[in-house]
Amino acid sequence: MIAYNTTWLYNLLIRDQADEALNRHCITGGENERIFTAHAVNFYTPNFFVRIGLFILTVVIALFTLGLFLLAFLSGSDNQIGGLMIFLGVLAYISLEVMVAKRHYKSGVDDALLWIAPASIVAGFNIMATISYMENAIIIFILSLFLFIRFINMVIAGIAGIAFISVLFLAFIKLGESAKATAPFVVMITSALLYLFATKMLKKEKYKFYFNGLLLISIVALTGFYIAGNYFVVRETSIAMFNLDLQEGQAIPLGWLFWILTFIIPVIYIARGIQKKDVVLLRVGLALIAAMIFTVRYYYHVMPAETAAVIGGVSLIAISYALIRYLREPKYGFTYKKEDDPMMMEKLQIESLIIAETLPVVQQPADSGFQFGGGSGGGAGASGEF
């Protein structure tokens, strides 16, 4: 259940769509004002600089509160200090609920408390006892998933996605040596399923408030899928975590397959992004090209790093310039022009919204017959008279 007033959240989406329509000259300033008036939002959301100031102030107050409690338990045991941290986390969460009830939304105060609460609880458990990586991942996943569902924070959603993949990975490698050998493929399968789940949820209107968080989860899943198949990650993880004894220059088992995956996954992302006009796949694929180049450069020194960096930078600038020139006019569904719809909420029909909010509702008298005429125009090309 979302802690914030969902009616106001929906009205924020409507206002964003109205602003977009105004920027595209689909509606007038007066129509935009009437939409804003009809969809009131009573959240306390200050400007960016005030938000930063309130965030810092809240963190300082939390630190001073922690300091006062620590002075009282200066000679206490780890259990006492850990319990104190957990208590502070619970107190921060209660304060968060209170501030949200007082209409705070992205005010800086709720932002700070949203991070203080889980951080204090996780720190408290680690101080009280030496818990494993898997136990930490489980705690972080549970806390972040709950906080995402409750407070729809995008970054918290990304942490939940990372923690989910980590829990399955750490649980699977406990099954033995064969599990360690196949762990990369399990992570790839998990990431693929997580991506499919996130993209499916993105298409459902009832999850519109979770859009940004689900979008970040899909990016985490795509990145996790590549990382699990990247040769550098698999080799260095096998040495560090699984004590794989390899001589310098010696390849890992199935090394050829991981080299193929290192090269082919970014290409598939880019190709699929172009085919589906999916900006997420396209941008993630382009970003992972850098990881692919780093992996090759780490094991094969074709030229000095400085020379490679200069050549790569010049090439990217030249390619970018050529694409910008080429896409000044839209071609094949692509354009260099800025997209005016950052939320990508296609299902919110702005045309219907404008009609509903700017035209008066007229009560029609009961009549058994049909009478036409009287208007000067109609339909999408209507003038000011109907």
Q: What are phi and psi for residue 152, nearest 5 degrees?
A: 45, 40
**Identity of the highest mean pLDDT range in 10-14, 16-20, 110-114:** 110-114
Share of the chain above pLDDT 70, in %: 83
pLDDT of 163 higher than 60:
yes
Total residues found in the chain within this entry: 386
Give buried/exposed letters for 217-255 (b at 16+ CB in 10 A, else e).
bbbbbbbbbbbbbbbbbbbebbeeeeebeeeeeeebebe
Q: What is the pLDDT of residues 110-156, one digit of tens each?
A: 999 999 999 999 999 999 888 899 999 999 999 999 999 999 999 99
Pair 144, 159: CB distance under 8 Å: yes
Instruction: Indicate the residue type of 120.
Output: S
- As to burial, measured by CB atoms within 10 angstroms (0-12 exposed, 13-18 middle, 19+ buried), residue 147 is buried
Sequence-distant (≥ 6) Cβ neighbours of residue 240 within 8 angstroms: none
- C-alpha separations of 329 from 45, 202, 313, 325, 326 in Å: 38, 30, 26, 9, 7
DSSP string across 148-171 = HHHH--HHHHHHHHHHHHHHHHHH
Sequence-distant (≥ 6) Cβ neighbours of residue 105 within 8 angstroms: 4, 8, 43, 44, 45
Pair 110, 89: CB distance under 8 Å: no
Rounded Cα distance, 288 and 226, in Å: 8
Q: What is the pLDDT of residues 345-366, one digit of tens each?
A: 344 444 444 444 444 444 444 4
Angle at 8 between CA 3 and CA 9, to 5 degrees: 65
Question: What is the CB neighbour count within 10 angstroms for residue 128?
Answer: 18
Residue with tokens 């991506």: 195
Selection from 47, 46, 45, 37 nearest residue 14 by Cα: 37
Rounded Cα distance, 298 and 31, in Å: 58
pLDDT for the residue 309: 73
Rounded Cα distance, 372 and 212, in Å: 48
332 band by pLDDT with thresholds 50, 70 and 90: low
pLDDT of 287 higher than 60:
yes
Beta bridge partners of 331: 334
Q: What is the pLDDT of residues 164-216, one digit of tens each?
A: 999 999 999 999 888 888 999 999 999 999 999 999 999 998 899 999 999 99
- DSSP-derived letter for residue 204 is -
Beta bridge partners of 122: none
H or E segment to which residue 218 belongs: helix 211-229
DSSP string across 262-277 = HHHHHHHHHHHHHHHT
